[in-house]
Amino acid sequence: MIGLPHFLILAAALFCIGFYCAVVKKNAIAVFMGIELMLNSANINLVAFNRFIAPDKLDGHVFAIFVMVVAAAEVAVGLALIVSIYRHRKSATVDDLNLMKW
């Protein structure tokens, strides 16, 4: 029987892949993709807990919707930042963005 641990382990694997992507990639957009994977794995956890621990309430679904809203806002602002930086510095590589590095 497919239970809660199956979904939690799937989400954990997805989170770790997203973490690896966000840490290793040079291109800022690839870093964003990794962050999206991590947010999605958190959403799977929320919905799985809701389904298996408290199926009569839907608070987990509402939390997942809020995560989606914040992810959408984050992607819009982040991509605008990347486009703006690319226009000024002709590069979308995170290694080049060392202006504030001490």
Partner 1 sequence: MDPDAIVTLIISNAIFFLLAAVIIVCAILMVSSRNLVHSALFMVAVFIGIAGVYAMLSADFLAVAQVLIYVGAISVLLVNGVMLTRRADMKSSNPGNNHKLGAFLTAIGLFGVLTWKVLSTEWAASSAPPAETTAGQIADLLLGKYVVPFEAAAVLLLVAMAGAILLAKGADFKK
* CB of 100 vs partner 1, minimal distance in Å: 17
Of 95 and 102, which has the nearer Cβ to partner 1? 95
SS3 assignment, position 27: strand
Nearest-angstrom CA–CA distance, 11 and 41? 5
Q: How far is the CB of 102 from partner 1 (least distance, A)?
A: 19
Task: Decide whether 19 or 100 has the Cβ nearer to partner 1.
Answer: 19
Rg (CA), the chain: 17
- 3-class DSSP state of 100: coil
Shortest Å, Cβ 70 to partner 1: 7
- Distances 58 to 6, 72, 89 between C-alpha atoms, Å: 20, 22, 46
Q: Which is nearer to partner 1, 5 or 100 (CB)?
A: 5
